[in-house]
Amino acid sequence: MNLHLNINLADSYKSNSQKARILTEDWAKQNTYCPNCGDLKLYKFENNLPVADFFCKYCNEEFELKSKRGQTVGNKINDGAYSTMIERINSENNPNFFFLTYDNVNWNVINFMIIPKHFFVTDIIEKRKPLAATAKRAGWVGCNIELKKIPQNGRIFLVKNSKIINQKAVLSEWKRTLFLKNKKGSSRGWILDIMNCIDRIQSDTFKLRDIYAFEKELSLKHPDNRFIKDKIRQQLQLLRDKGIIEFKTRGTYKKIDNENI
């Protein structure tokens, strides 16, 4: 993997956003591998198809690429029409998202991250204000992907702060998330909620009471559930079975860091 963008390709483009699109797409095509199966090449869809940007010929996973200038990934990714995004999430033919940040002085990739599609729930999509009546597309409603609402386990870096992450570690991190694929609707929502609560606990080990501290917040989000504590314990057991956390002594849990696997 070479972190340098091939700026020669951008010579004939005037607009910065077009340049960025050309350079980052070319970079991804040349440098990335499939995080699902490890195949060393991804292929590009034809430009005029209303689908994702890349696909893997070996395992058929599809990927969309978003990029922005900057040193950090930030909290939000600007995306297309809100209604289309919600439709895609609900129909579950949404692609996985690659997210890339670059610097436009030296033209290097700084971060390159994948968010597996099974982390996409309507919760993480923010509706933007409709475009003003004076705009070309007046009334059009776009959306943001709220990265901060995606659990740590769903933000898998291939390049982090200009450092290339070992491919084996990336594949194993990806693999650890696959159990979510078979979970639908509110059952997936609950797991993601508890993963987010765990992320918000500062230390690596924690007690049951640390998670119970989120009971009120969770009950507001799930008003129909009267047994929040039971639900929390059920999710913790599942996350233990899937290798996200481990149970230490009774009532004490530990987050499993992927690098230790």
Give me the least distance between CB of 36 and Zn ion, in Å please.
5
Give me the least distance between CB of 68 and Zn ion, in Å please.
25
- Which CB atom, from 35 or from 142, has the smaller least distance to Zn ion? 35
- Which CB atom, from 36 or from 153, has the smaller least distance to Zn ion? 36
Which residues, including other chains, have CB under 8 Å from residue 259's CB and lie 6 or more apart? 169
Residue numbers of the site for Zn ion (CB under 5 A)? 34, 36-37, 39, 56, 58-59
Give me the least distance between CB of 154 and Zn ion, in Å please.
18
Which residues, including other chains, have CB under 8 Å from residue 149's CB and lie 6 or more apart? 123, 124, 196
Give me the least distance between CB of 58 and Zn ion, in Å please.
5
Instruction: Round to whole Å and give the CA distance between 110 and 71.
Output: 6
10 Å Cβ neighbour count for 132?
8
Tell me phi and psi for residue 129, to 5 degrees. Answer: -65, 145
**The two structure tokens encoding residue 196:** 């987010």
- Which CB atom, from 152 or from 172, has the smaller least distance to Zn ion? 172
- Which CB atom, from 37 or from 141, has the smaller least distance to Zn ion? 37
- Beta-sheet pairing, 108-115 with 156-160: antiparallel
Instruction: Round to whole Å and give the CA distance between 173 and 168.
Output: 9
- Which CB atom, from 43 or from 227, has the smaller least distance to Zn ion? 43
- Which CB atom, from 40 or from 135, has the smaller least distance to Zn ion? 40
Give me the least distance between CB of 85 and Zn ion, in Å please.
24
Q: List the one residue out of 86, 97, 91 whose CA is nearest residue 119.
A: 97
Using DSSP, how many helices (H) and how many strands (E) does the chain show? Answer: 7, 13
Q: List the one residue out of 125, 121, 61, 122 whose CA is nearest residue 96.
A: 61
Give me the least distance between CB of 24 and Zn ion, in Å please.
20
